[in-house]
Amino acid sequence: MLKRLLFLICIGLTSVTKAQDVFLSGVKPGKALVFSTKGALVLKNNCLSVKWLAGKSIIAINESAVQNKKQINLKGSPLFGLEFKDGTVINSADFQLSTTPKIVQIKGEPEAVKFSEKEDGVKILAEFLNVKYGIRVKWEAILKDNSNYIRQVFGVFALKDSLKIRKLNLINFTAETGIKPLGVVDGSPMVSDDFFFACESPISKYNNQHGRISSYIERQEPTLNFEASTVWGIVPKGQLRRGFLYYLERERAVPYRQMLHYNSWYDLSWADRKLTEAGCLDRIQAFGDSLTAKRHISLNAFLFDDGWDDNQTLWQISQKNFPAGFDNIKALADKYGASLGVWMSPWGGYEQAKEQRLQYGRSQNPPFETNLHGFSLSGPVYSSRFKSTAAKFVTSDGISMFKFDGVGAGDQSTGATVEYQTDMESLLDLVTGLRKVKRDLYFSLTIGTWPSPFWLKYGDVIWRNGWDTNTQGQGNGRQQWLNYRDGQAYKNIVMRAPLYPLSSLMYHGICIADNGAPAKFDMDDKDISDEIWSFFGSGTSLQELYINPHKLNEANWNCLAAAIKWSRENADIMPDVHWVGGDPSKGDVYGFAAWSPKKAVLTLRNPSNTAKTYLVNTREVFELPSNSNPDYIFYNAKVNSKETKSYVFKGTVHDVKLEPFEVMVLNAIPVK
């Protein structure tokens, strides 16, 4: 049997540690250590320590001590639990050790993409067996260098028949611990003061009843084996969001990286037409001339949205409109230092094109599986074809990014419904498989996702939810669009998932084109500047340009280039972007801030038609650690630093006046 007795972690308040580009104040976690003595197995570093007592048939987490003790008692908590579809429940107490626990040194991989995989570390391995049900569980407890967390990985294997498991319960604590979910969507982390706990899956759920808080993963279909993991972490006092982000940046599939790209939707792509090679070449050339050659800004990619395929096939390039496939457009993109991306819809897309694809799928032998939304990614026939087609785009066409549109049960969902649970599981498998083809592929996962931070263990961004484009509040069309865009982010992300990073959202980019709602947006230079700067101020890595380049004048191009340059100069701190201010839909001043010990940025916007004042308190807007210098000098980021060295204001607290619909972008440097 296994029993958790105590999980003891401590934090200090002195130095600074860096994970990727997120700073963790307090004691440096330092080197991961493991040792065995007198029947005890210990994982520890400068921040945390966990001790397991290992006997012939028992492993238990025991009391451990480090400096500045800070502990949370997990006594009586099972290591894992399984619930079968017939209602039978067993947990770790019903298993026996089948192997002697092992200590393993982990060697980091310098060429790895995931940040934590670059680090050395240690882990403890053990296996458990339940003979009655024929189930073997492989358990790993892992601590990497410089980590403020431990991870546990559980592999469940059936020795006989397919597992009939309904739930895999990996966190099950007493309510006395004070642990509660922070967020209202599936896959939300659970927290207690300066601790965080979670099943590392966007489809995990939580339950709070009978005096216990638990987090589990439901399985809708029997399976021979599956793997799941948990994280237990600690953060410096008052630094929950940033401390969790430090962990997330280390463990996400690929750390934050900006993907500046043209997207053809609203421009060349629309419901009543198909893309052509000539149109795509024109857009690449236009951006190449005006942005790359003239202003020395290269895009990362050109993504072609709905309309590149032949609807009478399954995601095959239209030979009529692209007689050379993507070869010619790839060659031109290469010339300007960019790659290609494609839109694909796992459920088949929208409207007439979707019906044509579905008709093709039904005509196959065997036919492609479907559900109420269209194609079913959990169907073995369709799934195999979709995966092989997507992989071929990577290997044969050099595709570097995918926009997967339509991955679940619609917009503004809080999680996977029973009907779409298996499709969600298949989507995670799909993305994982494609990363084996090319590790640093960029994935935008749109309609059907919800703001669980653990989507980022697979993709790079998720959808902010809401309509693609709409209008709300005061101002002209473009200003109302900005109110709606950011109002939806506040409503659907900030308020529902406080620990989801805003730098990993699909906001729906900058929209200057001739189709749909953007066709009606005002083309005033000031309004366009507001959209450009407010968008890049959001810090999102998915930098979408839904722009017909022929609609931009010199001022627009100059503004776009300046904002891109500013964003790239501050890419090192953009993962930290967080919300400041109030609700755009109510006319409140709002914005985005990002911080590091060396510098910070602040973007503010007034979404109303009356001037407003916003109190900038550096401790609050930058969420400063308690021992940080609060005195900052603020500069206008829109003005070239070489042209002026005058500052806008300085100090710890300042009243900032914003004119109607003003967007203010500020660089901040701590006063030495």
Domain ranges within the chain, ordered by starting residue = 2-251, 579-670
Using alpha carbons, select from 173, 140, 144 the residue that is nearest to residue 41: 140
Task: Give the DSSP H/E element, type plus range, for residue 518.
Answer: none
Q: Which residues of the chain have pLDDT under 70?
A: 1-20, 55-69, 408-410, 641-644
Between β-strands 7-9 and 135-144, what pairing exists: parallel, antiparallel or unpaired? unpaired
Name residue 632's amino acid. Answer: Y
pLDDT for the residue 262: 99
Give the mean pLDDT of the chain. 92
Between β-strands 461-463 and 505-506, what pairing exists: parallel, antiparallel or unpaired? parallel
Provide the CA 542 distance to its chain's centre, in angstroms: 11
pLDDT for the residue 357: 96
* Contact by Cβ (8 Å): 306, 265: yes
Task: Give the DSSP H/E element, type plus range, for residue 229.
Answer: strand 225-234
pLDDT for the residue 21: 73
Q: Is 86 exposed, middle or buried (0-12, 13-18, 19+ CB in 10 A)?
A: exposed
pLDDT in tens, 234-246: 999 999 999 999 9
The arrangement of strands across the sheet holding 578-581 comes to 578-581, 590-595, 600-605, 663-670, 632-636, 649-651
**How many Cα atoms sit within 13 Å of 648 on the Cβ side?**
22
Name residue 143's amino acid. Answer: L
pLDDT for the residue 86: 87
Provide the CA 368 distance to its chain's centre, in angstroms: 30
The residue ranges of DSSP E strands in 26-101, in sequence order, are: 33-37, 40-44, 48-54, 59-62, 71-72, 81-84, 89-91, 96-97
Task: Give the C-alpha distances (Å, rounded to integers) separating 580 from 436, 546, 617.
Answer: 38, 26, 11
Domain 579-670 has what CATH class?
mainly beta
pLDDT for the residue 162: 77
Q: Do domains 2-251 and 579-670 have the same CATH topology?
A: no
Q: Is 476 exposed, middle or buried (0-12, 13-18, 19+ CB in 10 A)?
A: middle
Q: For 562, left (φ over 0), alpha (ψ -120 to 50), or beta? A: alpha
Q: How far apart are CA 33 and CA 38, in angstroms?
A: 17
pLDDT for the residue 225: 85
Residue 69, both tokens: 């003790």
Buried b (16+ CB within 10 A) or exposed e, 18-57: ebbbbbbbbbbbebbebeeeeeebbbbbbbbbbbbbbeee
Using alpha carbons, select from 201, 207, 217, 195 the residue that is nearest to residue 80: 217
The CATH number assigned to the domain with range 2-251 reads 2.70.98
Q: Identify the bridge partners of residue 45 per DSSP, sorted by sequence position.
A: none
Tell me, what DSSP letter sits at residue 479? H
Helices (H) and strands (E) in the chain, counts: 10, 42
pLDDT for the residue 12: 31
Would you tell me the crossing angle of helices 554-569 and 525-537 to the nearest 10 degrees?
A: 10
Q: How far apart are CA 432 and CA 391, in angstroms?
A: 12
* Contact by Cβ (8 Å): 596, 21: yes
Q: How far apart are CA 17 and CA 21, in angstroms?
A: 10
Buried b (16+ CB within 10 A) or exposed e, 258-294: bbbbbbbbbbbbbeeebbbbebbeebbebbbebbbee
Q: What three-state secondary structure class fits 579?
A: strand
Using alpha carbons, select from 460, 310, 329, 305 the residue that is nearest to residue 397: 329
Q: How far apart are CA 601 and CA 585, in angstroms?
A: 23
Q: How far apart are CA 38 and CA 103, in angstroms?
A: 15
The residue ranges of DSSP E strands in 321-475, in sequence order, are: 339-344, 370-371, 374-375, 399-404, 442-445, 461-463
Cis peptide, bond prior to residue 366, ω within 30 of zero:
yes
Provide the CA 229 distance to its chain's centre, in angstroms: 17
Q: How far apart are CA 397 and CA 317, in angstroms?
A: 11
Residue 349, both tokens: 């897309």
Q: How far apart are CA 290 and CA 561, in angstroms?
A: 10
- Residue 314's φ and ψ, nearest 5 degrees, are -110, 100
